[in-house]
Each structure stands twice: as structure tokens, then as C-alpha cells.
Amino acid sequence: MEDMKRLEKFVMMAIWCIQEDPSLRPSMKKGSQMMEGTVEVSIPPDPSSIFSYI
């Protein structure tokens, strides 16, 4: 179960990092803090909006 929580966190981080608008992407520092667990990973915007541009 712990592995599933970790996977979910990494997927949410990945979605944040591929946002179309660069201002929505986390900084390297914030990304590192998310991975360390010192900053909570919030729910990213709906990823289906990414594919509407393709």
C-alpha cells in the first residue's frame, strides 16, 4: 500500500512538471521538496486538458 501512495505522488508530480503553462510547473527546489516529503504534492490540473492541444 505504501508503494501505491508513493507511485500516486510521483504521478501527480509528473503531471505538474508537464503543464503547458511554464508558470504552473514547480521549481527544481519545490520539486525536490515534494520528493523529500517536506512539501505536500497538491492535486494537479486535469491532465486531459493537455491532450486537447494535440
Q: What is the mean pLDDT of the chain?
A: 87
Task: Tell me the domain boundaries of the chain.
Answer: 2-53
CA distances from 6 to 3, 34, 37 (A): 5, 11, 10
pLDDT greater than 70 at residue 32: yes
Residue 54, pLDDT score: 52
- The 10s digit of each residue's pLDDT in 3-17 is 999 999 999 999 999
How large is the average pLDDT for residues 19-37?
Answer: 92
Q: Which among 21, 8, 13, 10 is positioned nearest to 44, based on CA atoms?
A: 13
CB distance 16 to 25 below 8 Å: yes
pTM: 0.74
Per-residue pLDDT band for 53 (boundaries 50, 70, 90) equals: low
